[in-house]
């Protein structure tokens, strides 16, 4: 029998039982839609974040710290970076300038509100030359800042978007730092005056943040009573990838390999692998629903096989080969899988678009900022539907349908025509 005839015969069988076929297809649709929605949202999220990250930092800037980035841990060592380590770094070929960054968690008293945030001690001039986003909206960053000056991120003026101004240029903020000396808990206070408010920076960036408070490095050194810094930001003379790598290596060597140098490119790679894991996990969950749909197909086909035993007997009596019977049953599953996959892709993408429309308003205002916590800025996710997602999801749906149909189809093909014809 020609494949076209096999197809039309199988298609006719599927069409005959519309309700049943519809429900079976629905199972596939749900599975595929979940996969497509999740994948396109996570891909969209990834694109949004990487592009914001890409804007947020220049690729000629690297960060030196005593440990490698984030959760991948660097192993603890007693080595610490100090304020004057910038001198060592500045001497390395290819380094344009560097800035030490000292950051501590403190409690801030704005007069009306207290907030736990972190304060960063930096050399304003060096910091601004590394991060172009360190520019003011209001006020100005003094060249030789007074000890009690503080530059604040734009978000701190009106953190909840409701006109509650926390601090403006000229206001004072009481900074209190609680730390441990030996067994005692010591609280230190000092009052800083806001000299400038930064321009809005955006969601994800290295360097300055919309929620940041920046005090002069010397003030930080004396207030926190330490020369130890969290990291040193380094601006290189070129952003050529190979060059960045070479200089990064030189910096590591200068500290006998006790520091790690993180470049934005490496950071992006790590972020993207984290997103890959998240999306794999989510797709795995969606895959389970597809598995359930597959079992549904198998179930339905076994029922259909029992109902159509006589039909199979007739077809065999008319000279149809076992493999053609197998082909008919698999084609029926293929039709179900294909229709389910196509509808599933469309549904899934629509779901993703609807979700992103909702999430836009959620991330922007209420949700994250609602509980008096602060979010840096809003982020809109545009779901991304790539050809890979479409083809992958469809292939997966069709594959699941066909694989679960293998057993019933095989059983149908193995039916003995004599018994099948006698079947009531």
Residue ranges that bind another protein, judged by CB under 8 A: 1-2, 5, 9, 12-13, 16, 310-311, 313-324, 417-418, 421
* Minimum distance of another protein from residue 16's CB (angstroms): 5
- The distance of closest approach from Cβ of residue 2 to another protein in the complex, given in angstroms and rounded to an integer, is 6
Rounded to 10°, the helix 309-317/322-364 angle is 140
Question: Which CB atom, from 183 or from 318, has the smaller least distance to another protein?
Answer: 318
Q: Which is nearer to another protein, 235 or 316 (CB)?
A: 316
What does the alpha-carbon distance between residue 23 and residue 351 come to, in Å, rounded to a whole number? Answer: 20
Those residues whose C-beta lies under 8 Å from the C-beta of residue 12, and which sit 6 or more positions away, are: none
Separation CA 412–CA 316 (nearest Å): 11
Beta-carbon contacts of 376 under 8 Å, excluding residues fewer than 6 positions away, are 155, 201, 202, 203, 209, 210, 211
In angstroms, the CA 48 to CA 371 distance is 25
Q: Which helix (H) or strand (E) holds 255?
A: none
| CA separation for the pair 261, 258 (Å, rounded) | 10
**Rounded Cα distance, 195 and 151, in Å:** 6
> Shortest distance, CB of residue 8 to another protein, whole angstroms?
9
- In the complex, the smallest distance separating the C-beta of residue 417 from another protein, rounded to whole angstroms, is 5
CB-nearer residue toward another protein: 9 or 69: 9
Closer residue to another protein, CB minimum distance, 16 or 185: 16
CB atoms within 10 A of CB 23: 12
* Comparison of 67 and 322: residue with beta carbon closer to another protein: 322
Nearest residue to 106 via CA among 224, 219, 15: 224
CA 415 to chain centroid:
52
Q: State which residue, 1 or 302, has the beta carbon closest to another protein.
A: 1
d(CA 246, CA 262): 12
Reduced to 3 states (helix: H, G, I; strand: E, B; else coil), residue 100 is: strand
In 10 A of CB 161, how many CB atoms? 12
Q: Which is nearer to another protein, 9 or 177 (CB)?
A: 9
Distance of closest approach, residue 304 Cβ to another protein, in angstroms: 13
Helix/strand/coil for 383: coil
> How many CB atoms sit inside 10 A of residue 162's CB?
9
Least distance to another protein, CB of residue 9, Å: 8
Whether the CA torsion 371, 374, 378, 380 is positive or negative: it is: negative
Token pair, residue 48, equals 């949004």
Task: Determine the Cα–Cα distance for residues 411 and 330; give it in Å rounded to an integer.
Answer: 12
Tell me how far, at minimum, the Cβ of 330 lies from another protein, in Å. Answer: 17
What is the smallest separation between the CB atom of 409 and another protein, expressed in angstroms? 16
Q: Which is nearer to another protein, 213 or 305 (CB)?
A: 305
Shortest Å, Cβ 332 to another protein: 13
Task: Read off the tokens for 287.
Answer: 């895959």
Report d(CA 290, CA 29) in Å as an integer: 9
Residue 234: Cβ within 10 Å count = 26
Question: Of the two residues 29 and 315, which places its CB atom closer to another protein in the complex?
Answer: 315
Q: How far is the CB of 337 from another protein (least distance, A)?
A: 21
Other CB atoms within a 10 A radius of the CB of residue 272 amount to: 13
CB of 324: closest distance to another protein in angstroms?
A: 7
Q: Which residue's CB is nearer to another protein, number 188 or number 321?
A: 321
Q: How far is CA 239 from the centre of its chain?
A: 25
Q: Which is nearer to another protein, 7 or 275 (CB)?
A: 7
């Amino acid at each position: 029998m020609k494949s076209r005839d096999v197809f039309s015969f199988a298609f006719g069988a599927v069409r005959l039982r519309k309700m049943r076929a519809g429900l079976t297809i629905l199972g596939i649709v749900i599975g595929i839609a979940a996969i497509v929605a999740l994948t396109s949202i996570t891909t969209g999220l990834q694109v949004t974040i990487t592009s914001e990250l890409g804007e947020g930092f220049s690729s000629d800037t690297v960060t030196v710290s005593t440990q490698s980035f984030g959760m991948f841990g660097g192993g603890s060592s007693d080595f610490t970076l100090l304020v004057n380590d910038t001198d060592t770094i500045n001497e390395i070929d290819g380094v344009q300038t560097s800035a030490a960054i000292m950051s501590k968690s403190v409690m801030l008293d704005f007069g009306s509100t207290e907030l736990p945030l972190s304060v960063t001690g930096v050399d304003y001039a060096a910091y601004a030359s590394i991060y172009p986003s360190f520019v003011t909206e209001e006020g100005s960053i003094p060249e030789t800042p007074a000890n009690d000056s503080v530059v604040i991120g734009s978000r701190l003026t009106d953190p909840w978007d409701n006109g509650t101004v926390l601090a403006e240029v000229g206001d004072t903020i009481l900074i209190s730092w609680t730390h441990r000396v030996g067994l005692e808990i010591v609280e230190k206070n000092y009052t800083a005056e806001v000299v400038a408010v930064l321009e809005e920076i955006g969601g994800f960036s290295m360097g300055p943040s919309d929620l940041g408070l920046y005090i002069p490095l010397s003030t930080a050194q004396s207030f926190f009573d330490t020369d130890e810094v969290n990291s040193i930001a380094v601006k290189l003379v070129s952003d050529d990838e190979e060059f960045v790598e070479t200089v990064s290596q030189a910096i590591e060597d200068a500290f006998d390999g006790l520091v790690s140098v993180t470049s934005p490119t490496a950071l992006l790679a790590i972020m993207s692998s984290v997103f890959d894991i998240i999306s794999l996990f989510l797709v795995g969950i969606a895959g389970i629903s597809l598995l359930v749909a597959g079992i549904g197909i198998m179930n339905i086909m076994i029922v259909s096989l029992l109902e159509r035993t006589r039909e199979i007997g007739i077809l065999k009596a008319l000279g149809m080969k076992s493999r053609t019977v197998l082909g008919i049953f698999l084609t029926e599953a293929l039709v179900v899988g294909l229709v389910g996959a196509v509808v599933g892709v469309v549904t899934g993408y629509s779901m993703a678009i609807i979700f992103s429309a909702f999430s836009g308003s959620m991330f922007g205002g209420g949700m994250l900022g609602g509980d008096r916590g602060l979010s840096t800025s809003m982020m809109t996710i545009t779901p991304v539907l790539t050809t890979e997602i479409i083809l992958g999801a469809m292939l997966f749906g069709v594959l699941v349908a066909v694989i679960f149909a293998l057993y019933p189809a095989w059983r149908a093909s193995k039916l003995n025509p004599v018994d099948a014809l006698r079947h009531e």
